[in-house]
Amino acid sequence: MPVLTKVESPRDTKDAIYSETILAGKGFMQKLLPGQVIRIEDIEGNQSVDALFYDADNPDDHYSTVLTIAEQENMYLKTGSTLLAESGKELVTIVADTVGCHDAWFSFCSAQSNTVRYGHDKIDMHNCRDTFLLLMEENQAGYTKRDLPPSVNFFCIVPFTQDGAIEFVDGISAPGSYVELKAKCNTMVLLSNCSQLNNPCNDYNPTPIKVYIWES
Amino acid sequence: MTHVWSTILSPGGKWSGFIKRGKCIRFTALEEGANVSILFYNARDLTERYVMSDTLKSQFTSHLTKGHVLLSDNGRVLASFLEDSVGWHDPIAGCTTREKTDAKYGVTTYQIQRNEYFRSGRENLITELARNGLGARDLVPVVNLFSKITTDENGQLTFQKSHCPKGATVTLRTEMDLLVVLSNTPNPLDPKTEFPAVPVQMEVSSSPQVEENDICVNNRPENRRAFENTWAYYDLY
């Protein structure tokens, strides 16, 4: 288990310019301006939130799991971590975090990956990729399936073992935990409030999250 | 194995091409310390591609070796690891950018160094993607053949030196008709400050039929289900 680095935010939710509750199985797609801060709050705890980030001025340049972890030579996202795009461009920096550690690579579920992981009969279960695809189509900003690289999973971690396996650990996010990210450029944020029922990432009980945005 | 096709990937070189299902692709490191960054796309639908995260979580692994499969975003097997002499290939360190290449190995340009200038993995891959009608948008986490990165309890990443001896080999079997895109450029976490100059041989031959006791199909129930998804796809093809 990695060391948890908890950092409280100085921001007051009363000053937020935007707030929205996102139910499990729903998502969020919105552009941040440079300096704006987004908070994602895990209202009831042990919820997983899949997140992708793009250079909104050049959406071809998406979040890169591997560039981000190779640059910091560490697989976990903590306060101070900067999430990079494939080009190396800085997209967002974590500026507060009351969980202390987040996953950078585990990514979102899809109907198809559910058939592989859990059985062919899982094809009809709601999943994060469907949430993303529908949201991208409704957003009409030209984003498609090609724009879905492996994502961040806020509020959970999936450690690698030294001998090259992965292990699943219990939820580390208490009710009311949050993470805040500051945009480094015009950043498109894509979130899915995960609907996975086949593994403990949501404690088998997907619950709502809340999103706040503050001006820079 | 009957070799029908062979090429040498020169240090800093790049390659892309279509390879039919049912082929073996064997890579041989002609010197120690090779690293080949490689990506896979479904030749018939280039939006279907290798996914690092689905590949690792489905097989409960953070490395790739014999018996493992490479999954697409549609839960199918693009290729599988049939043989492997090094026991670990890296799915998590990505490829080098121009900025990182210049910072680590020194600034080189075609103007000064001519064709000896140091190539970056990202530029190589993007160029080959673009040559096939794709682009930077389609760049995702690569598999780095011949490299080993370990992690400690706090998530710290360490490049394992001396992992790839001269003559190391790995053989992938194609399970779908593929576009394969690759770059013979350094692993970003390789601490060597001299640009590695390791040629890699690539040979493609016909693969024997997948048997009922196939190691990749039977490695895990997840693998079998991914193969079933793949076979079902070709039933309709």
Q: Which of A90, A74, A60 is nearest to A184 (CA)?
A: A90
**Position A170 confidence tier, pLDDT thresholds 50, 70, 90:** confident
User: What are the φ and ψ backbone dihedral angles of B13, each rounded to 5 degrees?
Assistant: -80, 165
- From A210's Cα to the closest Cα of chain B, the distance in A is 26
pLDDT at B4: 87
Contact B97 A113 (CB under 8 A): no
**Distance (Å, rounded) from C-alpha B137 to C-alpha A119?**
31
- The one-character DSSP state at A7 is B
B161: left (phi over 0), alpha (psi -120 to 50) or beta: beta
pLDDT digit string (tens) for B11-26? 999 999 999 999 999 9
The pLDDT > 90 percentage for chain B reads 97
pLDDT at B2: 65
How many interface pairs between A and B have CB atoms less than 8 angstroms apart? 146
**H or E element, residue A83:** strand A82-84
Tell me if B150 sits within 8 A of B157, measured CB to CB. yes
* Cβ atoms < 10 Å from Cβ of A59: 16
* Cβ atoms < 10 Å from Cβ of A169: 12
**Distance (Å, rounded) from C-alpha A172 to C-alpha A6?**
12
DSSP H helices, A65-127, are 65-72, 111-118
pLDDT at B3: 63
Quick one: tokens of A58? 């050049």
Tell me what the pLDDT averaged over chain B comes to.
97
Contact A2 B228 (CB under 8 A): no
Contact B155 A2 (CB under 8 A): yes
Answer whether A80 touches B (CB < 8 Å): no
pLDDT at A202: 82
B60: left (phi over 0), alpha (psi -120 to 50) or beta: left
pLDDT digit string (tens) for B52-83? 999 999 999 999 999 999 999 999 999 999 99
pLDDT at B197: 85
Tokens 């190589």 belong to B124
pLDDT at A7: 98
If you measure CA to CA, which chain A residue comes closest to B120? A87
pLDDT at A200: 81
Contact A164 B73 (CB under 8 A): no
Torsion angle of C-alpha atoms A72, A107, A63, A178, degrees rounded to 10 = -70
pLDDT at B80: 98
Contact B99 A88 (CB under 8 A): yes
* HEC sequence for chain B: CCEEEEEEECCCCEEEEEECCCEEEEEEECCCCCCEEEEEEECCEEEEEECHHHHHHHHCECCECCCCEEEECCCCEEEEEEEECCCCEECCCCCCCHHHHHHHHCCCCHHHHHHHCCCCHHHHHHHHHHHCCCCHHHCCCCEEECCCEEECCCCEEEECCCCCCCCCEEEEEECCCEEEEEECCCCCCCCCCCCCCCCEEEEEEECCCCCCCCHHHHCCHHHHHHHHHHHHHHHHC
**Distance (Å, rounded) from C-alpha A83 to C-alpha A94?**
8
Query: What single string gives the DSSP state of each residue in A21-67?
Result: EE-TT-EEEEEE-TT-EEEEEESSSS--EEEEEEETTSTTSBB-HHH
Strand partners, A209: A22, A42
Pick among B55, B137, B175, B189 to test the A interface (most A CBs inside 10 A): B137
| Mean pLDDT calculated for residue range B123-133 | 98
Pick among A55, A76, A116, A151 to test the B interface (most B CBs inside 10 A): A116
Residue B105 has pLDDT above 60, yes or no: yes
Q: Which of A196, A189, A195 is nearest to A212 (CA)?
A: A189
Contact A145 B188 (CB under 8 A): no
Residue B1 has pLDDT above 60, yes or no: no
If you measure CA to CA, which chain B residue comes closest to A69? B93
pLDDT at B203: 97
On the CB side of A29, CA atoms within 13 Å amount to 17
Contact B54 A64 (CB under 8 A): no
The beta-carbon neighbor of A113 closest among B54, B135, B140 is B54
Answer whether A60 touches B (CB < 8 Å): yes
Tell me if B142 sits within 8 A of B39, measured CB to CB. yes
The pLDDT > 70 percentage for chain A reads 100
- From B157's Cα to the closest Cα of chain A, the distance in A is 5
Strand partners, A38: A181, A213
pLDDT digit string (tens) for B153-185? 999 999 999 999 999 999 999 999 999 999 999
SS3 A204: coil
* Residues of chain B positioned with their CB less than 8 A from the CB of A73: 156-157, 189
Residue A201 has pLDDT above 90, yes or no: no
Contact B157 A116 (CB under 8 A): no
pLDDT at A199: 85
| Mean pLDDT calculated for residue range B44-53 | 98
pLDDT digit string (tens) for A73-110? 999 999 999 999 999 999 999 999 999 999 999 999 99
SS3 A19: strand
